[in-house]
Structure 1
Amino acid sequence: MTPSPLTVDVHAHVLLPEIEALVEGTAGLAEARALDARRNGPAALAVSGPMVRERIPKLTDAQARLSAMDAQGVDVQLVSPSPSHYHYWADQETAAKLSRLANEATAAHCAAAPDRLRGLGLVPLQHPGQMADALEHALEQGLLGVEISSHAPGRELSDPAYEPFWDRAERTGALLFLHPFGCTLDERLDRWYLSNTVGQPTENAVALSHLIFSGVLDRHPGLKLIAAHGGGYLPTHIGRSDHAWSARSDAGAGCAHLPSSYLRRLWFDSLVHDPHVLRELVRSVGADRVLLGSDFPFDMGSEDPVGALRAAHLSDADFHAVRGANAAALLDLA
């Protein structure tokens, strides 16, 4: 692949105060906040609050974002709403308003620099019947697709109720960014920020496994899905999935091919925080399936995503593919 002149970061977030204003005082919000507090624990919340507050300019002001991108050597960001805006507890009416508002607000943020900022919207994962229309609304705003979590309350991504959404995403060519928020291991992870360091890669692995083993990727081979955090634990431990598929009738019943083969139908960001793991990710899924990601501007992200990529000592061709060429092709950047 010819080296792209662009450096493209596919994992960057925007904070939308309008969303929190919309849900304030709504039935269910207090319970959701209490669950989030239990899952994270008091020590994590004490750190996260000030961390987010000091980053609000980069999260909300396009010029502050662009200045930070310049300092990182990033030309283009794919901007998605903070996962804290999912609010999958919301009723149908609130959820419909929320997705439309998120789509419109993200599009407005990106419109400040359309040559450098591309956006993703939200869909109500808790209400499958609304998702296809919410995706269409996001595309109508000029967004490239939507961001989803690893599950909604009572629903895994293998749920048949999501089939119309997968179909619409495949037919439109929309991008789907799989970014977990909240791990169902709950209070087991409420110390030392295990809710994030263990919870996020666990949720990525579970969600991707549901998509693979249920046959979603057989039925919708054209889905354009990017997994955050390098896909979590799954790509580097996919051999266990392959063994189960081959050795057990229950594991192999839902999908047509070895689980590892489906990894080359997906895309993965580079945010794994270890050059050796990044090299293994590239080996497992192919250099053409890895995209630069930073989790801008949160503290669990990388302030120097290109430097982190360089530390993996990939070949020149693979380095430039991950730095920007893969994303430029996927996002159809000129």
Structure 2
Amino acid sequence: MATPTVDVHVHVLLPEVEALVDGLPGLAEARALDARRDGAAALAVSGLMVRNRIPRLTDPAVRLAAMDAQGVDLQLVSPSPSHYHYWADEDTAEKVYRLANEATANHCAAAPDRLRGLGLVPLQHPEQVTPALDHALEHGLAGVEISSPAPGRDLSDPAYEPFWAQAAKTGAIVFLHPFGCTLDERLDRCYLSNTVGQPTENAVALSHLIFSGVLDRHPDLKLIAAHGGGYLPTHIGRSDHSWSARSDASSGCLRPPSSYLRQIYFDSLVHDPDVLRELVRVVGSERVLLGSDFPFDMGTEDPVAALRAARLPEAECDAVRGGNAATLLHLALALALALALALALALALALA
């Protein structure tokens, strides 16, 4: 079989989730914080951009037509990061993750051979995170999507240890996709909250996971970092130097930080063919996956063309285009099971 083209960084908008939280205490405060961090100009542009893309974000038929135009065979669909709602209390948070998981699963059920889904977990309530992951898996999702920090906690917080253990045990995918930036008003103009903030948040979150030993304790974790991992892969030498030069930097992890990059998957969305080639060189072609950020404006309309612009060797290009994701998502096994089910159904109908 030819290698499928698999896009691992795409989003779905879930109106059900937004209807659930509308008017609840805490939402207005959270939106005010986002407004201060992003700036009024960014919010105005983003609002129009999202409204123009609602059909692609909500209608499976429109999504599939766009995939056909892009030459994408399968998408790994994650909720829009605007659905994290890490401000929510325990009762609301449980309702949000259950509704998000179920709605994402329903969206993907429109074309199960072409859409796989990721759910959400409420990082602000660590005791709920593992049950939320289990809930996502029970609904046929491949894993969950998380942001870089939760209020008052980084991903290295010991409270998340049961979550990392369960994700590694079950083989669940954890998609690290920051939303917003904790540098606050320093980036509130010219869309710096995204162009600078997102790569910064990726680098900080991954560094916490590396330096704290999370990846030592859970080497089988299937972690995908959005935006090519941000600044970390191309500046990992500084991390290695600190690990070798300072006792406080080397106390938490067993090996040089650069060695852990080959335990992480990275999407290809770096917007520069030279940077993509460097990402492949640093982490290995087997650790890079095609990503587009479909259908938002900070993504790419043609992820395959963006990949080919890097002029990788054909075998490496095919691996990034879909071979790696096919292995990660067990697509061959899923296809075999689907064929077996179809044959069994056909046989049952013939004998009826």
TM-score by length of 2: 0.94
Whether 1:79 and 2:77 are equivalent positions in the alignment is: yes
Q: Distance in 2 between matches of 1:88 and 1:176?
A: 17
Q: Distance in 2 between matches of 1:246 and 1:27?
A: 48
Aligned to 1:262: 260
Match for 2:227: what amino acid? H
Match for 1:279: what amino acid? R
Q: CA deviation at 1:46?
A: 1.1
Aligned to 1:302: 300
Aligned to 2:227: 229
Q: Distance in 1 between matches of 2:47 and 2:205?
A: 28
Q: How does 1:242-281 map to 2 (within 5 A)?
A: 242-281=240-279
Aligned to 1:285: 283
Match for 1:19: what amino acid? V
Match for 2:49: what amino acid? M
Q: Name the CA shift for 1:133/1:19 in 2 (closer, same or farther; >3 Å).
A: same
Match for 2:6: what amino acid? V
1:87 aligned counterpart, secondary structure: coil
Q: Distance in 1 between matches of 2:196 and 2:40?
A: 17
Aligned to 1:113: 111
Match for 2:285: what amino acid? A
Do the aligned partners of 1:178 and 1:228 also contact (CA within 8 Å) in 2? Answer: yes
Aligned to 1:177: 175
Match for 1:55 among 50, 53, 59? Answer: 53
Q: Which has the higher helix share?
A: 2
Report how many residues are paired.
332
Q: Distance in 1 between matches of 2:164 and 2:280?
A: 26
Q: CA deviation at 1:4?
A: 4.7
Aligned to 2:199: 201
Match for 2:70: what amino acid? Q
Q: CA deviation at 1:25?
A: 1.2
2:35 aligned counterpart, secondary structure: helix
Q: Distance in 2 between matches of 1:153 and 1:132?
A: 18
Q: CA deviation at 1:5?
A: 2.3
Which protein has the larger Cα radius of gyration, Structure 1 or Structure 2? 2
Structure 2 unaligned segments of length 5 or more: list them: 333-352
Aligned to 1:26: 24
Match for 2:129: what amino acid? M
Percent identity among equivalent residues?
80
Aligned to 1:122: 120
Do the aligned partners of 1:229 and 1:271 also contact (CA within 8 Å) in 2? Answer: yes
Q: Distance in 2 between matches of 1:284 and 1:314?
A: 14
CA displacement, residues 101-137 of structure 1 (integer Å, 9 cap, x when unaligned) = 0000000000000000000000001101001111000
1:313 aligned counterpart, secondary structure: coil
Match for 1:141 among 136, 139, 142? Answer: 139
Whether 1:166 and 2:164 are equivalent positions in the alignment is: yes
Do the aligned partners of 1:80 and 1:119 also contact (CA within 8 Å) in 2? Answer: yes
Q: Distance in 1 between matches of 2:285 and 2:19?
A: 42
Aligned to 1:211: 209
Q: How does 1:34-49 map to 2 (within 5 A)?
A: 34-49=32-47
Match for 1:191 among 170, 189, 192? Answer: 189
Q: CA deviation at 1:100?
A: 0.4
Q: CA RMSD in A?
A: 0.7
TM-score by length of 1: 0.99
